[in-house]
A and B are shown apart, each in its own frame.
Chain A
Amino acid sequence: GNSVTQMEGPVTLSEEAFLTINCTYTATGYPSLFWYVQYPGEGLQLLLKATKADDKGSNKGFEATYRKETTSFHLEKGSVQVSDSAVYFCALLTPYGQNFVFGPGTRLSVLP
């Protein structure tokens, strides 16, 4: 079946530190991959996505590259800010499907 595994955290970093949140997936075919962010008390917002191998999604300083050979989609940011504190979800959308499969989420806390 389809599944997403990601480090659960919590991850605590100081402001301006480098961030990596690992995400690996298992899927039939070639899924689209996503990172969603959930700020406290809010719903999920799309952060970035990639639809095919070697694509790099980027937004607000965050990046992730679709690696088919390692079935990974790790999220990175060079310098985190306090405002980046949130829960980050890795997810996949199977080809010809509409239903997402989500990872468990990683809580990030950035300290000033």
Chain B
Amino acid sequence: NAGVTQTPKFQVLKTGQSMTLQCAQDMNHEYMSWYRQDPGMGLRLIHYSVGAGITDQGEVPNGYNVSRSTTEDFPLRLLSAAPSQTSVYFCASSTLTGDGYTFGSGTRLTVV
């Protein structure tokens, strides 16, 4: 089915470890983004991209890196995980005008 695919669905990390959350979309959307969801705070934007080779910071970018080498993929990297990064992470994509905005099913990350 067409859509946004996130992997893994669940992950436990130790403080200081690194990992990459994967996000892929097959709708040829130019725009992709990463959000984190924390209780009582809704979703907050981490990073976004308006096309291959272009990325920018959102509201809460510290501790996270992104790259966009292809239209389809937008991985999120945690270089040195901290307990404050325990959250549910959602990837989303859309056209540049915001049409067809689609969310992935999320990655639940726990940092111990």
Given the interface pairs A43-B103, A44-B90, the reply to whether A104 lies near B42 with Cβ below 8 Å is yes
Q: Nearest B residue to A44 by beta-carbon distance?
A: B103
Report whether B43 and A102 are in contact in the complex, using a CB–CB cutoff of 8 Å.
yes
Which of the 9-residue segments B68-76, B78-86, B93-101 touches chain A? B93-101
B48:A42 contact, CB within 8 angstroms:
no
Residues 33 to 91 of chain B near chain A (Cβ within 8 Å): 33, 35, 40-45, 48, 50, 58, 90
A93 at the interface (CB under 8 A from B): yes
With A and B bound together, what is the CA distance between A67 and B48 in angstroms? 29
Q: How many A-B residue pairs have CB under 8 A?
A: 46
* Closest B residue to A96 using CB positions: B97
What total of chain B residues lie within 8 Å of the partner, measured CB to CB?
Answer: 22
The answer to whether B90 and A98 touch across the interface, beta carbons within 8 angstroms, is no
Please indicate the chain B residues that have their CB under 8 angstroms from the CB of A32 in the complex.
98
Chain A residues with CB under 8 A of B43: 44, 89, 100, 102
Complex contacts, B50 vs chain A, CB 8 Å:
98
Closest to A42 in B: B105
Which A residues touch B96, using CB under 8 A? 98
Given A93-B98, A98-B96, A98-B98, check contact A43 B42 (CB 8 Å): no
- CB within 8 Å of B: which of A63-112? 89, 93, 97-100, 102-105
- Partner pick for B106 among A43, A97, A98, CB 8 A cutoff: A43
**In the assembly, what is the distance between CA of A102 and CA of B38, in Å?**
12
Question: Shortest beta-carbon distance, B72 to chain A, in Å?
Answer: 17
Which A residues form the contact surface with B (CB < 8 A)? Answer: 4, 8, 32, 36, 42-46, 89, 93, 97-100, 102-105
Chain B residues near A (Cβ < 8 Å)? 31, 33, 35, 40-45, 48, 50, 58, 90, 94, 96-98, 101, 103-106
Provide 17 A-B residue pairs closer than 8 Å at the C-beta atoms, listed in order of the A residue: A42-B105, A44-B90, A89-B43, A93-B101, A98-B31, A98-B33, A98-B48, A98-B50, A98-B94, A99-B45, A99-B48, A100-B45, A100-B101, A102-B44, A104-B41, A104-B42, A105-B42
